[in-house]
Amino acid sequence: MKKCSCDNQYVVILAGGSGTRLWPRSRGETPKQFLQLVGDKTMLQRTADRALQVTDWDHIIVITNQAHAQVVRQQLPQLQNDHVLLEPEKKDTALAMLVGALFARSFNPEAVIINSASDHYVPQKDLAEFGRTMTKACNIAASHQNLITVGIAPRRPETGFGYIKVGEQIDNDKALPVFKVDSFTEKPNLATATAFIATGKYFWNANMYVWSATALLAAFKKYAPQTYQAVQPLLKAKPEDFARLLPQVYAQSPSISIDYAISEKADNLLLIPGNFSWSDVGDWRVAYELGQKNADGNVITTENQAASVIVHGARENLIASSDKRLVALVGVNDLVIVDTPEVLLVCDKNKSQDVKKIVETLKQDKKEEYL
């Protein structure tokens, strides 16, 4: 197998999401990837830490929207200035991943790309294992023949994730085995997810994809020809040409996820299980699970130095305050309380995913000041 040189390995960080389930902290000007949701680093900074396990700053590319160019450069000052690609409009993950791969290819025709979402979390203790897994994925992808996904062994019957079923193992590696992918299932119900886990053949779809630019471009030509045609101006473009060409490319491209466009159709997709702790920080319940808990199981964070929280007889709550006023809890359990200068959110911790419905209502009512 052709080995992947570190010079060929690029990480494309996708940082264009909105994070509506983490409202009201995650909003239009400050979506979740730029917030300190776990510890003292932002989610974007933690994503860069993961990238540095497999490459260097010269090989990291960030894709975000135009409104967030400045905050990306502020949070990642080591990043090359011209390695921030600005999307002129949102067109979902398929186009973003293809543009990122073609940008890497404009520097290096042998580029192998690791795609990394900026709202994922891998703890510090598992970064080395993350690096080993991604390095193996890169080595396989360097042959230009296969697309690789890294799947996560499910810890519970989660209905908020997609699932990937694996078929036969194609190597003899017990530590990092490689499997053929059999099928995808999008966000099953609880009974189905429970049945999946019992088989031992299903992994969470973490959208951690690794591929060569050559293999990805061939996949788009075969399975997503409309997007393939739209990116033709980028195929011979120099890195400095991308900013000028992207508006035209995005205007002509459909909006579609990478799973629907490529992954669910490709017959050359392989899976490597990720033997590291992983979380998609998609809602407040996950933020609670990852947070530092006190003796009563409460997670308390305050961003304003003048803010204070008093708790009496209350357990296993998440309290996040960014305002200066006092927040007091008495005799309540399993709540999420997020206090900001403009908005106070109170919800059942186990209903955290429904926060996005509040955002949808605000959009319908045109209350843009709260979004």
Q: List domains and CATH numbers for the chain.
A: 6-280 (3.90.550.10), 284-370 (no CATH)
Q: Are strands 163-169 and 179-185 parallel, antiparallel or unpaired?
A: antiparallel
Which residue from 13, 23, 289 is spatially nearest to 158, judged by alpha carbons?
Answer: 289
Confidence category of residue 201, pLDDT binned at 50, 70, 90: very high
Give dist(CA 213, CA 190) in Å, integer: 37
CA 330 to chain centre: 36
Judge whether 140 and 178 are in contact, CB under 8 Å. yes
Judge whether 153 and 273 are in contact, CB under 8 Å. yes
Give dist(CA 50, CA 61) in Å, integer: 13
Question: Looking at the predicted structure, is the pLDDT value of residue 344 above 80?
Answer: yes
Phi and psi, residue 207, nearest 5°: 55, 35
Q: pLDDT: is 263 or 304 the higher one?
A: 263
Which pLDDT score, from 0 to 100, does residue 6 have? Answer: 67
The torsion of the CA quartet 277, 286, 117, 32, rounded to 10 degrees, works out to -150
193 Cβ contact list (under 8 Å, min separation 6): 154, 157, 158, 159, 163
In the chain, at which residue ranges do the beta strands (DSSP E only) sit?
A: 9-14, 60-65, 84-87, 112-117, 120-121, 147-152, 163-169, 179-185, 202-212, 269-274, 279-280, 299-302, 308-312, 318-321, 326-330, 335-339, 344-348
Give dist(CA 344, CA 327) in Å, integer: 11
Mean pLDDT over 288-315 rounds to: 89
Q: Which amino acid is at 305?
A: Q
Mean pLDDT over 65-76 rounds to: 94
- Intra-chain end-to-end CA distance of the chain, in Å: 50
> Encoding tokens for residue 225?
């020809």
Confidence category of residue 128, pLDDT binned at 50, 70, 90: very high
pTM, to two decimals? 0.92
Report the largest interatomic distance among the alpha carbons of the chain, rounded to a whole angstrom: 65
Give dist(CA 275, CA 277) in Å, integer: 7
Pick from 185-189, 191-195, 224-228, 252-256: least confident: 185-189
DSSP label at 293? B
Which residue from 16, 2, 26 is spatially nearest to 287, judged by alpha carbons?
Answer: 26
Q: Which amino acid is at 297?
A: G
Give dist(CA 218, CA 143) in Å, integer: 13
Give dist(CA 139, CA 6) in Å, integer: 10
Which residue from 224, 226, 241 is spatially nearest to 105, judged by alpha carbons?
Answer: 241
Mean pLDDT over 7-22 rounds to: 91
Judge whether 15 and 120 are in contact, CB under 8 Å. no
